[in-house]
Structure 1
């Protein structure tokens, strides 16, 4: 009986998680054309939890977080069908350097990288709950990095790249007029 349970658990984890550090770029390249508005791509630190919903796929990159964030944002921005909305942990601005060595340099480099992009700060637990809720209907790709500084996860919610909120609002108003 124990062997059956272990085999089942192994299959369960294999369907939603990959521990290969070499295939995340290929996976992103394959998945991005399939992803659309309401899907998420997360670039997270080493302690980010493995979430259990089948629609959440976690890949361990073994790489520098800011490099992964840059590559993901570059890929998303080159894709004409989606637009990145960035969410950061609200706690990020309150973590002191003396308790998390390297946080100041990380924050400075991250803020340079995302300057001018649509960015919102939300409490970490709320973001995790949002991901859990989104995974009921939509896929989530998590790229886990080797960063060991707290509250540094970058949550990227994809929106439609060719139809914006303003256009949607105007469409809904026109529909009310009939």
Structure 2
């Protein structure tokens, strides 16, 4: 019994230890995909894209694409992303929806749901192929984050082009005007 005493003491000490400050990942109550969005958003900036995609959105081979499986509905993912963008200090969303959505059964009601999430932000509509043309042009240079959802409504993806929050077109024009004489 005496020879096992040090082992019993060591095991007892090991199991009685408590982490004072466990890593945030161990105590987070957020779903993994939300934590991924939280870690990616500070890295994204002007000209990056976030796509909140329906379930059939294709896995593309472009090196600039990062995919996150949300396991949730598109409106729920859009709500979370819009809240995060609203509180971000560096980027603003430019929102796009497929023009085809208005003609898909269930599309208008779904679009109304998204409008409530977007809270009056302007939304541009483009033909589906036009959105992909913009993405193809961008993905070679800038990061595109795709949040795959469980939504199975055709043409329901939300395309978000990120713009600089603290610098806008008017400020850029004034800067360029001031630089003309120099």
Question: TM-score range with shorter-chain normalisation?
Answer: 0.7 to 0.9
Deviating beyond 4 angstroms after TM superposition, the runs of 4 or more aligned structure 1 residues are none
| Residue in structure 2 matched with residue 137 of structure 1 by the alignment | 141
User: In 2, distance between residues paired with 1:76 and 1:114?
Assistant: 11
1:26-105 to structure 2, matched below 5 A, reads 26-95=35-104, 97=105, 102-105=106-109
2:70/2:148 contact within 8 Å kept:
yes
For residue 138 of structure 1, give the secondary structure of its aligned residue in structure 2.
coil
State the Cα RMSD in Å. Answer: 1.3
For residue 41 of structure 1, give the secondary structure of its aligned residue in structure 2.
strand
Gaps of 5+ in 1: 1-21
For residue 157 of structure 1, give the secondary structure of its aligned residue in structure 2.
strand
| Residue in structure 2 matched with residue 159 of structure 1 by the alignment | 163
1:60-106 deviation per Cα after TM superposition (whole angstroms, max 9, x unaligned): 211011010010011011110111110111111122x2xxxx33331
User: In 1, distance between residues paired with 2:164 and 2:115?
Assistant: 24
For residue 162 of structure 1, give the secondary structure of its aligned residue in structure 2.
coil
User: Which of 126-135 and 156-165 deviates more?
Assistant: 126-135
1:44/1:154 contact within 8 Å kept:
yes
- TM-score normalized by the length of structure 1: 0.81
- TM-score normalized by the length of structure 2: 0.79
Which has the larger helix fraction?
2
Deviation of 1:173 (Å): 1.6
User: In 2, distance between residues paired with 1:122 and 1:67?
Assistant: 23
1:20-56 deviation per Cα after TM superposition (whole angstroms, max 9, x unaligned): xx52111111111111000001101011111111110
| Residue in structure 1 matched with residue 28 of structure 2 by the alignment | none
Aligned length: 152
